Structure 1
Amino acid sequence: MSYNLMQALYTSVTGLNGFSQSLDTIGNNISNMNTPGFWGSESFFENLAGDIGTSIAGTGMDTSQGDIEQTNTATDVAINGQGLFVLKDPQGNLYYTRSGQFELNSSGQLVDSVNQYVVQGYDSSGNFGDMNISSLQTLPAKPTTTVNLTGNLSSLDPTDSVSNIVVYDAQGTPETLTMTLTNNNPSGASSTTNSWSVVLTDSSGNTVGSGTISFGTDGTPLAGSNTITMTGVLDDASQSITFNFGTPGSLSGATSLGGTATSLAAQVVDGNAPVGLSSESFNTDGVLELTYANGQTVAGPQLALASFTNEAAMQMIQGNLLLAPQNEIAQMGTANSGIFGQVEGSSLEMSNVNLTQELADMIVIQRGYQASSRVMTVASDMLQQLYEATQGN
């Protein structure tokens, strides 16, 4: 009899230990309910051999998706669907996470804002590695190659000029040109063509290009004489710029109609000085799109996503970082391809902890702990009674 009472005493202790450990798991879940990308865990009890109590057999992670919330940070991202972001520490170790709290560091690397581990992705050639935009933070200078002329050049006017034509040389230095046009048939007689002599000058008055433009009786440019090429010197370097007056037979470019007032204007098609980055954002494919001060958008690197067959076996460290399951190799890919979900920019996935469920589980554990404690008390009282009865004999 005394053996059974002693065993009841020790069995109740295993219950107290098990419920305490399970309460610790719940406490960890609740404390991380606001940790982005956190996966909650659940403790599993098992019966000890010989029916001598219980123990915690282990814990399992809940890998379901948490709620996605919008943020005001352009580099925050969330995965709507399957997939894990991949991070690399300074020693080259890889970690996985559902938390997309990312930022660009001073070196142009995309890193997680908590540990400063570098986010992994694919460059434009499909090479896997660090996501780095250091080479894309400024658009290089480009020389101007084309200027389009639009509007009307009245065949009855003797001259016209277009000023403030800002073009760029190979170093991105702006140069202001002026185009002067002289009517070779100012009387507007019944000629089959209407030609104009064109001279281009730079800001110092130097001639940098010249030629002749001709229009047909329909007022549109004639084939073979609808462009002028400037091959002058800008900033001590030779540069070629084509001044295009339009397509023959088309009214979309420049025209020369006598009954319409002159309204010729120049549109610089290309060329720019070095342009700085103004903003960045992620599209649904996980591509970091870079927008520059001139409005141009360039596609940067793309986020890499990973997946494992048994993600519930992953070990969570530091709140939301996960280690790969033992003896498993990650399946790699990109958003919106294969098994992987889409990326949502300016968003974060929150913890998947269900507070209501955690509080309900906590009440059950509390009752179990109280019951185990009561068993210990009763077993102790019965042992005391047995001891006193033995002393009485």
Structure 2
Amino acid sequence: NGALFYTRAGQFSFDENNTLVDTVTGMDVMGMSDSNTLQSIDLTELRILLPEATSEIQITGNLQPTSNSEEITEISIFDVRGEAQTISLHFTNPGDSDDIWNIEVRDSDGNSLGTDSIQFSNNGSLLAGANQFNMDLTLNDVTQNISFLFGEPGSTSQTTQSINLTATLTTQNVNGSAITGLTSSIFNNEGILELTYGNGESATGPQVALATFANEGALIADAGALYTANNNNAATLGRAGDPNFGGILSGRYELSNVDLTQEFADILIIQRGFQASSRVMSVSNELIEQLYNSTQ
């Protein structure tokens, strides 16, 4: 009905609708939006990470200036649909210049997807403007642009051309990913939902809303470890991590927060009631015994 309740129980879980709820009452647990308004904590849009098409491939290694050709086979990339594709790079030295290498990109069937080139200086480092290239590749009937990065100009830390080094070429880093699902979620000390996905990536989600009161003793107890507030004791809403609200310990159990004085008083009342009932039963038993003896 839109009414707000407050709790310290902290027994929450995501229901079948991916909404964080109180496990006892089934009520939605509220989060704090970026605009400082209350909203339900919903995982629906965070359950999966959409695919990311490969856009960069970093190549490292050495090219032998006396060699006619080199290649990198079976480079795994992702297309725009998140499906895995395989390409290969084929390097050829045109012969008229030892410093220039033509590069052909091929698909898994050996079909040419495009060609470009890189160039080295006399000391074996890459020349500026010839150290990388971009290419539009048509994969799975969809075109995507990929940058082939061989290193910084003048640097020998990534791709080089040297007769003194073995010819070894490989991919150093290939970005992109397939569609992947959520594997774990936990609230951190600031009440922010931290999410981990199957590919190792992480993200953050909504933040739990907290409330403080000028007089916590004036809260009205309700069923299910809930409390309500009246107009004279309105809630001040905020976020964990703020000095006025403290932090959140996820996955922990709080020690007893019941009113022990009231609980002990209730126990004494029950105990006295039991003792009184016992005396009544004792008197009744004695009367029945006397009546039985008088008839003999």
Alignment TM-score, normalising by the size of structure 2: 0.84
Q: Distance in 1 between matches of 2:200 and 2:175?
A: 13
SS in 1 for 2:232: coil
| CA–CA separation in structure 2 for the residues paired with 1:362 and 1:312 | 19
Aligned-pair CA distance for 1:104: 1.1
Distance 1:204 1:179 in 2: 13
Say whether residues 1:310 and 2:215 are aligned partners.
yes
Task: Tell me the equivalent position of 2:94.
Answer: 184
| Aligned counterparts of 2:270 and 2:82: Cα–Cα separation in 1 | 73
Assess, with a 3 A threshold, how the Cα gap between structure 1 residues 284 and 242 changes in structure 2: closer, same or farther. same
Check if 1:104 corresponds to 2:14.
yes
Q: Is 1:325 equivalent to 2:230 in the alignment?
A: yes
Give the distance between the partners of 2:179 and 2:226, measured in 1 at CA.
Answer: 39
Give the match for residue 237 of structure 1: 142
| Alignment partner of 1:343 is 2:248 | yes
TM-score w.r.t. the length of structure 1 is 0.64
Distance change >3 Å, CA 350–CA 179, structure 1 → 2: same
Alignment counterpart, residue 261 of structure 1, candidates 137, 149, 166: 166
Q: Could you tell me which of 246, 266, 287 is aligned with 2:192?
A: 287
How far apart in 2 are the matches of 1:128 and 1:265?
Answer: 51
Q: How far is the alpha carbon of 1:270 from its aligned partner?
A: 2.2
CA contact (8 A) 1:124 1:300 kept: no
Q: In 1, Cα distance between the equivalents of 2:167 and 2:33?
A: 50
Give the letter aligned to residue 116 of structure 1: G
AA of the residue aligned to 2:197: Y
Q: Does residue 64 of structure 2 align to residue 154 of structure 1?
A: yes
- Determine the C-alpha separation between the residues in 2 that align with 1:336 and 1:161: 54
Q: Which amino acid aligns with 1:132?
A: D
Structure 2 residue aligned with 1:209: 114
Give a deviation string over 1:265-317, Cα, whole Å, max 9, x none.
Answer: 11444221111111111111111011100111011001111111111111122
1:298 to 188, 198, 203: 203
Which structure carries more relative contact order (alpha carbon 8 Å, separation 6+)? 1
Letter in 1 for 2:180: V
Shift of 1:111: 1.0
Q: Which runs of no fewer than 5 residues in structure 1 stay unpaired? A: 1-90, 374-393
Alignment of 1:66-81 (within 5 A): none
Residue 258 of structure 1 aligns to a residue whose secondary structure is coil
Question: Aligned letter for 1:107?
Answer: N
Query: Alignment partner of 1:348: what SS?
Result: coil
Structure 1 position 205, deviation (Å) = 1.7
SS in 2 for 1:301: strand
Q: 1:335 to 1:143 in 2, by over 3 A?
A: same
The Cα of 1:262 is off from its aligned counterpart by 2.0
1:144 aligns with 2:54: yes
Report the number of matched residues. Answer: 274
Give the equivalent residue in structure 2 for 1:227: 132
Tell me, yes or no, if the aligned pair for 2:24 and 2:224 is still in contact at 8 Å. no
Indicate how the Cα distance of structure 1 residues 144 and 127 shifts in structure 2: closer, same or farther if over 3 A, else same. farther
Shift of 1:326: 3.9
| Partners of 1:126 and 1:309 in 2: CA distance | 20
Residue of structure 2 equivalent to 1:15: none
Q: Provide the rounded CA distance (Å) in 1 between the counterparts of 2:176 and 2:56.
A: 9
**What's the CA shift string for 1:153-176, capped at 9, x where partnerless?**
233332211112111121112210
The offset of 1:147, in angstroms, is 0.7
1:334 equivalenced with 2:204 (yes/no): no
Q: Equivalences for 1:18-29 in 2 at 5 Å?
A: none
Secondary structure of the corresponding residue to residue 135 of structure 1 = helix
Q: Aligned-residue CA RMSD in angstroms?
A: 2.6
Query: Cα deviations across residues 140-161 of structure 1 (Å, max 9, x unaligned)?
Result: 1121111111222233332211
Residue 191 of structure 2 aligns with an amino acid whose one-letter code is G
Aligned partners of 1:123 and 1:300 also within 8 Å: no
Contact 1:167–1:268 (CA under 8 A) maintained in structure 2: no
1:264 Cα deviation after fit? 1.4
2: CA distance, partners of 1:292 / 1:216: 44
Q: Is the 8 A contact 2:25 2:224 kept in 1?
A: no
Residues 75-106 of structure 1: CA deviation (Å, up to 9, x unaligned):
xxxxxxxxxxxxxxxx2221111121111112
